[in-house]
């Protein structure tokens, strides 16, 4: 029987996460900032230079069921904080590189679809002056680049990556649940702000599922190079 004093002491989950955040933190901060900035440049270029006439996405019963909500905007905007958490929690350079390559590939697939097969959300019969926060959103992001929703793709993919990271440090169940609740809130907000319709959400989820599959432990070498 191994004496208690000689047994390895497991680092508490919150201390393990703090150690991960402190690892390569400057690289993570600069890389995430540059990555998001570069994505927006490409996103708006594609929106304003589609290869053809955009197709209007059809509505489903779910789109009519989810009410329009001005209060959903903070959740919608929180994606850009949320997506920074997975790279921030990368344990080393190899994991950080994997996340960066996966995010770049997912964005490239989405942007290619936007450019080759442009789509827009329907023109909703809404007086946007009654929703000042959403009116500002509509003036900057006019509902193009609809399918697949990269807002949903990045939310779901981040949730999957963070689930793996949290489990690796034995984070409690409530932390895992909070992670998925945040992601689900972002997905809901894409419908509640009328930035996307259900088919966009399903397309974004499918893209995130594909990226989650190829970045799994048994398949990550499909995209990981230079580690």
**Which tens digits make up the pLDDT trace of 72-116?**
999 999 999 999 999 999 999 999 999 999 999 999 999 999 999
- Is residue 108 one of the residues assigned to a domain? yes
Q: Which of 195, 55, 184, 210 is nearest to 117 (CA)?
A: 55
The total of other beta-carbon atoms located within 10 Å of residue 119's CB is 22
Residue 48 lies in a domain: yes
DSSP E strand boundaries for 118-198 = 119-120
From the list 73, 220, 227, the residue with the least C-alpha distance to 160 is 220
Does any domain span residue 16? no
d(CA 161, CA 89): 10
Give the pLDDT mean for 153-157.
98
| Residue 68 maps to a domain | yes
**Six token digits for residue 78:** 């929180």
Question: Residue 81 CA to chain centroid, in angstroms?
Answer: 10
Percent above pLDDT 90 for the chain: 79
Q: Which two tokens stand for residue 32?
A: 């995430």
Residue 20: inside a domain: no
Q: What is the pTM of this model?
A: 0.91
Q: What is the total residue count of the chain?
A: 227
- The predicted-structure confidence for 37-75, as pLDDT tens digits, reads as follows 999 999 999 999 999 999 999 999 999 999 999 999 999
Query: SS3 for 32?
Result: helix
Give me the domain span that covers residue 181: 29-222
> What pLDDT was estimated at residue 224?
52
What is the pLDDT averaged over residues 118-129? 90
- Report the domain count for the chain: 1
Angle (CA) 86 47 99, round 5°: 15
Residue 24 domain-assigned? no
CB of 180 closer than 8 Å to CB of 52: no
According to DSSP, residue 144 is labeled B
């Amino acid at each position: 029987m191994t004496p208690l004093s000689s047994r390895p002491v497991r680092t508490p989950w919150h201390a393990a996460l703090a150690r991960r955040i402190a690892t390569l933190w400057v690289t993570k901060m600069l890389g995430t900032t540059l990555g998001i900035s570069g994505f927006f440049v490409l996103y708006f270029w594609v929106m304003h230079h589609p290869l053809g006439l955009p197709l209007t996405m059809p509505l489903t019963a779910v789109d009519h069921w989810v009410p329009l909500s001005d209060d959903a905007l903070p959740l919608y905007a929180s994606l850009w904080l949320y997506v920074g958490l997975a790279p921030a929690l990368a344990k080393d350079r190899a994991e950080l590189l994997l996340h960066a390559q996966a995010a770049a590939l997912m964005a490239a697939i989405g942007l290619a679809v936007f450019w080759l097969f442009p789509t827009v959300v329907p023109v909703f019969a809404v007086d946007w002056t009654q929703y000042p926060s959403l009116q500002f959103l509509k003036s900057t992001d006019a509902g193009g680049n609809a399918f697949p929703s990269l807002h949903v793709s990045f939310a779901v993919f981040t949730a999957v990556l963070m689930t793996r990271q949290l489990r690796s440090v034995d984070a409690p169940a409530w932390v895992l649940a909070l992670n998925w609740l945040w992601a689900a809130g972002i997905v809901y907000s894409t419908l509640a702000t009328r930035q996307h319709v259900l088919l966009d959400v399903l397309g974004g989820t499918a893209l995130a599922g594909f990226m989650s599959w190829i970045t799994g432990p048994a398949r990550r070498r499909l995209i990981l190079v230079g580690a």
